[in-house]
Amino acid sequence: MRPIAEQTILVTGSSDGHGKRVARELAARGATVLVHGRDRRKTEAAAEEIGSDRVLVADLASLDAVRRLADEIDELDTLVNNAGVIVPERRESADGYELTFAVNYLSHFLLTQLLLPKLREPGRIVNVSSIGQAPLDFDDLMLKRDYNAYLAYAHSKLAQVMFTIELAERLDGRDITVNALHPATLMNTKMVTGGGVRPRSSVEEGVEATLRLVAAPDLDGVTGRFFDGTRESAADGQAYDADARRRLWEVSERLTGTVNSRWIVDGMNVIGSRPTGWWRDRRAAMRELVAALRGLGEPVTVVFDGEPFDLSDEVVDVRFASRRARGAADDEIVVLVAEEAEPSRVVTSDVELAERVRALGAEVVGAGAFRARLEGW
């Protein structure tokens, strides 16, 4: 990781409480801190107290506001997804989603996706969650049947952890870690005391735990973990259910409108990442990959090295790049990314290719992480 004094760090919900204390400590260590809040006057006052001149105002209950927030950021080293709410009675966000789920989880899912191309490496993402977790009911994610304020909060906090683990797998090949934590139990913040609950810990305890995930050198390379304070811990069991995590990711893409981008797959890189490789029957392996991609149910193009053969498909866009030209497949993928109207998702574990397509705004998913999405791979 870079020294904190060389980093630009966004802390959502840093106009008050735990987030404000975290931002203040990071600024004191020399970081360029982006102070975020919902109310301009309050956020500007907090930024002045923190010692930052970077003020970002956005209501995370609106996904359009989240998109505008991401547009205001050019480059980032660390993202701390901290903002959160507890809502006594069921309310809906500007987009029609249950408010707690929308603010605590969906807004940060979208914000993270939008900022990933702007995140410098090595980078860190810290999701401020809670040990208060409850399994998600995918048939009633918005709690329309039986709303309970604590259950809504616990759902949103488990969703953050599930997102953390899934994102860590999908970032295979990038020097970016993502971890979640329960900073401390019932800190003496306005969110706790305002709900008539007696605090059980101080904000300082939570700040110490959060700063460790942001700044501790011994956590370089540690990713996809959940921490209770400063100790690694176990989350609710649903967080370790790969199918549930994948389902939540797909639902989140649909709800936030981030599902339309095309997959562009470095075919031989994905095949070569399998334990069996492709050396026994190259063409058979290529046919197997195309068949697996067909079941993905999303727009996908796969680019192979080598001479073309009969591998056309009605669902999967299959391309061939001549083996005679070194790096021809990589060049073809770069051209495809440049031609896409929306940012693409490129599947490769080739470091040089990954750097080229990221420069064009593409998201890169490692071959191993992508294979986990494909049945039988």
Residue 248 near residue 241, CB atoms below 8 Å: no
Q: Compute the 3-state secondary structure of the chain and give helix, strand, coil in percent, each to the nearest 5.
A: 40, 20, 40
Please tell me the distance from the alpha carbon of residue 350 to that of residue 361, in angstroms, as a whole number.
17
Stretch (H or E) spanning 127: strand 119-128
Please tell me the distance from the alpha carbon of residue 324 to that of residue 318, in angstroms, as a whole number.
19
153 is known as an active-site residue: yes
Residue 307 near residue 323, CB atoms below 8 Å: yes
- Give the SS3 label for residue 210: helix
Catalytic residue among 97, 105, 150, 153: 153
The count of C-alpha atoms lying within 13 angstroms of the C-alpha of 267, restricted to the half-sphere facing its C-beta, is 30
Please tell me the distance from the alpha carbon of residue 209 to that of residue 229, in angstroms, as a whole number.
5
Residue 248 near residue 167, CB atoms below 8 Å: no
Residue 136 near residue 248, CB atoms below 8 Å: yes
Q: How many CB atoms lie under 10 A from the CB of residue 344?
A: 24
Q: Which residues are marked as active site?
A: 153
